[in-house]
Structure 1
């Protein structure tokens, strides 16, 4: 009877030990999973918020300046949420391992202690790979001015200085060499919103397959042609952020120092419309013309940026003329600033 009782107790102890190990692994894996889900959820939420701001801007519910401010605020808020929530998960992870090492979670045999050490190393790797994995994701937002280039000369006579652009999208940044942090390949998907604002009450007119400027005969408060391109950008990025060594573990942080990117983009036009605002018989009038202004269906160009951290100066140039079949080619040059939010 005593022998049977002893065997039962031994089996229960073994079962309890295995259950504890299993529970510990599951808890650790869940924390690691939470870190990845937090980042994904916040970036997805930011995309939705930016789309809502763009919709409000298209519906004239807010001004362009207000839209810029809102986008910056949303991006900063999501970044703070990610930082705070990830810090909480890392604290849980540290406490879980510490409790096990200090014996506050039961440890009944030497074999399991050895396994615990392996699990601890694995979790540390998960933390570091979250922060400095070889491929990272950034949310990109850029804003600046547009200029049409005709025969190598910028056309300042027909277009206002306020002709502008903004771009937003997502990029993936892959470290090319396994043990060197200098060279990265950056690629993604972006929407480029380009606005051309004619001077002197002129508007865009399309006739006979050609697009040109014509006097509107109105006292225009706003004349703007917007065309939107969906593009795939690709850059070689030179990141001067040094790699780091901590407890014999090497990590490769990005966007912590000077950065230079050179490359280009290719894509296609998704929509175009002309927007007019004027007074008629003492009343404010708005007019939107959606249609074919002979904007090229496809676009490709070169681009570059140089900056520090998440901020950089940005330039892009469309090698494809803006309008198809015009006798004189006009190419769009954009100059502005760019943010790459990790």
Structure 2
């Protein structure tokens, strides 16, 4: 019994020593973090001052301010950053003192003035952008590139050699397309925004619904529409592509000038874009739905169907705000070896959402 008591006391003593050492290790770690943070704070404020001075210099070179005004703005920026360093370092010194006095107990809370990565957004509507940076990172003086999420949807069909759309083998209302992608827009000229280049990537989904009771069959020599042996409730043929569009966009814009930055705003302006795209055929599939022996049957057929692996074409749009009328036309034929050339064409609405 006595031996058990002694062993228990020894275990408790060892645990107390371990806990004390762990606490000291945590305290030392927290103080080290705070000491490093002071250096980071000083460097951050110096970098911010450098960016502000560059912005002021840019405004001076653009004749937006006089040399005297530029010198005054630089002096104010330097004074502000010096005070920021003094105040923020003092806050960290207080946290170090608090950590030492309380042996590290609950001093590294959420309010620690640590440098963090965050997602922010400029406030210029259509020319806004998403970025990752420091908490107090100053806004770029001249932002020439912005980005948008692209979504388009509309009607799809086929231009057949020697035929008009009125004689198409596909249902106009039932054949549809969709497009999802991301696009960057860059101002071409330094002092003007009348011409922009828009580029990115998109996934295109081109669907076709044959007229009559027909579906596509790859015979080996060619791919052709054939009559299905039973009544079809649904017949849909879809081609999925990954393309890389490039458009030249023109249109007026409004220049918004602030003290430390300027932007060109095209949100409430007419935009016109014309360009081309090229990419790859990711896959082709066909969906059939019919009734057989009283049961509903759904078939999803996936294959090559003799389609071209490389796709390319022309596209154009005209719009206002986020919405545009969008037209695209494949220059490549849908099928490789068919005797009659057929090319995909789409017309719909395009939404560029920042």
TM-score computed with the length of structure 1 as normaliser: 0.64
Return the match for 1:332 from 335, 341, 344. 344
Counterpart position of 1:208 = 220
SS at match of 2:265: coil
Counterpart position of 1:140 = 150
Determine the C-alpha separation between the residues in 2 that align with 1:268 and 1:219.
34
Distance 1:308 1:28, change over 3 A: farther
The alpha-carbon deviation at position 296 of structure 1 amounts to: 1.0
Aligned length: 245
Determine the C-alpha separation between the residues in 2 that align with 1:27 and 1:281.
77
Matched, 1:159 2:177: no
SS at match of 1:23: helix
Asked if the contact 1:99/1:105 (under 8 Å) is kept, the reply is no
Asked if the contact 1:204/1:212 (under 8 Å) is kept, the reply is yes
The alpha-carbon deviation at position 159 of structure 1 amounts to: 1.0
Determine the C-alpha separation between the residues in 1 that align with 2:296 and 2:346.
32
Counterpart position of 1:72 = none
State the superposition RMSD in angstroms. Answer: 3.3
Distance 1:21 1:257, change over 3 A: farther
The gaps in structure 2 that reach 5 residues or longer are: 1-35, 49-79, 91-133
Determine the C-alpha separation between the residues in 2 that align with 1:321 and 1:179.
42
Distance 1:250 1:157, change over 3 A: closer
The alpha-carbon deviation at position 248 of structure 1 amounts to: 7.2
Distance 1:200 1:228, change over 3 A: same
* Bigger radius of gyration among the two: 2
> Aligned ranges for residues 211-230 of structure 1 at < 5 Å?
211-230=223-242
The alpha-carbon deviation at position 247 of structure 1 amounts to: 3.1
Counterpart position of 1:77 = none
Counterpart position of 2:315 = 303
Structure number having the greater helix percentage = 1
> Aligned ranges for residues 5-44 of structure 1 at < 5 Å?
23=41, 26=44
The alpha-carbon deviation at position 20 of structure 1 amounts to: 6.5
Return the match for 1:289 from 301, 304, 307. 301
Determine the C-alpha separation between the residues in 1 that align with 2:145 and 2:43.
26
Distance 1:340 1:29, change over 3 A: farther
Distance 1:164 1:27, change over 3 A: farther
Counterpart position of 1:170 = 182
TM-score computed with the length of structure 2 as normaliser: 0.61
The alpha-carbon deviation at position 226 of structure 1 amounts to: 0.8
Determine the C-alpha separation between the residues in 2 that align with 1:126 and 1:104.
18
Deviations 1:8-46 (A, max 9, x none): xxxxxxxxxx9868526548989xxxxxxxxxxxxxxxx
> Aligned ranges for residues 44-63 of structure 1 at < 5 Å?
none
Distance 1:28 1:278, change over 3 A: farther
Q: Which aligned segments of 4 or more residues in structure 1 are displaced greater than 3 angstroms?
A: 18-22, 24-30, 97-101, 103-107, 125-128, 253-256
Asked if the contact 1:149/1:155 (under 8 Å) is kept, the reply is no
Determine the C-alpha separation between the residues in 2 that align with 1:20 and 1:291.
62
Determine the C-alpha separation between the residues in 2 that align with 1:148 and 1:234.
23
Distance 1:187 1:225, change over 3 A: same
Determine the C-alpha separation between the residues in 2 that align with 1:316 and 1:180.
28
Return the match for 1:319 from 322, 331, 336. 331
Counterpart position of 1:179 = 191
Determine the C-alpha separation between the residues in 2 that align with 1:298 and 1:21.
54
Determine the C-alpha separation between the residues in 1 that align with 2:179 and 2:47.
37
SS at match of 1:191: strand
Asked if the contact 2:184/2:198 (under 8 Å) is kept, the reply is yes
